[in-house]
Structure 1
C-alpha cells in the first residue's frame, strides 16, 4: 500500500466515526449479503462560500472532482467493485453540503462538510446514511503540516482538491458499511 493510500485510509477511518449508520429499506438484504457492485456515482453539492475568488472551484466543479475521486477510489477498493453501467449494479447519490471557510485574504481554512449518501437499485432506494458536520483530517504529521499551512494563510485553491479527496475517501468508506 502506498503512503497516499494509507493516509487516505487513516483519514477515512477517523472521519467515518462522524457518520451515522445506514438506514436500510425493505428488499436491501439481498444486496447487503454480497459484494457491492456500484455502477453509477452522482454527486450533488451545495456550496456555501462567503466569496468566490478567482481560481477556486465552482459548485459543479467540486461535484465533479468528488465524483471522479470516488470512482477512482472505488476502482482501487477491494471490498466494492465499480463497473460503469453494470446490469445489476447499484447507484449511489451523494448530497454534499460544502462550506468553504477563508482564513487570510483568499487563503482557506479546512472546509466543513455534511450531507447524505444514498444507495439505489434502479428506482428503488435500498439505504441511506447521513453524516454530520465534519472537517477534513489528514492523519498524523500530515494533518499538523496542513494546519500549519492554514495557520499562516498558505492553504489555497491549489490545495482544495486535497480536501475534496479526503471527503471522497470518507464517502467510499461509508459505502463499505452498506
Structure 2
C-alpha cells in the first residue's frame, strides 16, 4: 500500500514538472525569473480575416497597423513590469514575438467577435536561442463582469474597430505576464 502511494506521488510530481509552458534550450538557463530584462526584437503579426469579412476592409486596421499596435502595447507592458531593457549591449537578451491573429466578424462584417490568437515568443541571447514559450488557439477573456460586458457588446454588434485595441492590449498583457514567469 505504501509503495503504491509513493509511486502515485512521484508520478504526480513528475507530471507536474513536465507541464511547464517554457522550453529552455540552454541549461542552466541564464534567464533569471523576475530579474532579466529583455529588448523587444521582432514582432510579427499575421492577420487573417475570418468568415464574414466584407470586401471593404477600410473599417479595420491593416496588418501593418495591427503590428504597430502590438509593438506599442508590448513595450508599455514590458515597461510597467520592469522587464524592458534599455541597453542594447552584446549581452542583451532579446524577445521576438510571432502572433497569428484571426479577426472574426459578426454578420455583415461591420462588427467583430473575439479574435482567435496563437503566439510564440522566442528568447535569444548572444549565442543563440535560450528559450521559447507560447499559447495556441485561444481568445480574449477579460474576466468577470468585464467579459460579460464585452460579450453583450458583441451580441449587440457593437464591438468594432474602436474596440480592437482593447483586445491587442489584453493579448500583450498576457504575453508579458507569461514572460515574467520565465527563468529559474
Residue 109 of structure 2 is aligned to residue 99 of structure 1: no
Which structure has more RCO (C-alpha within 8 Å, separation ≥ 6)?
A: 1
Change (3 A) 1:63 1:45: same
Q: Distance in 1 between matches of 2:41 and 2:152?
A: 34
Gaps of 5+ in 2: 1-18
Two-structure CA RMSD over aligned residues (Å) = 2.1
The equivalent residue for 2:162 is 158
Alignment counterpart, residue 85 of structure 1, candidates 84, 88, 108: 88
TM-score by length of 1: 0.81
* Shift in alpha-carbon separation, 1:98–1:30, aligned structure 2, 3 A: same
| Partner in structure 1 of residue 21 of structure 2 | 21
Query: Size of the alignment, in residue pairs?
Result: 159
User: What CA deviation, in whole Å up to 9, does each residue of 1:49-88 have, x standing for no partner?
Assistant: 043622311111111111110111111114x243252553
Q: Which of the two has higher C-alpha Rg?
A: 2
Indicate conservation of the 8 Å contact 1:83/1:89, yes or no: no
What stretches of structure 1 of length at least 5 have no aligned partner?
1-18
Name the structure 1 match of 2:35.
35
CA distance in structure 2 between the partners assigned to 1:53 and 1:141 by the alignment: 31
Residues 48 and 81 from structure 1, CA distance in 2 versus in 1: closer, same or farther, beyond 3 angstroms?
closer
Tell me the TM-score normalised to structure 2 length. Answer: 0.78
**TM-superposed deviation, 1:28:** 5.6
SS of residue paired to 2:30: helix
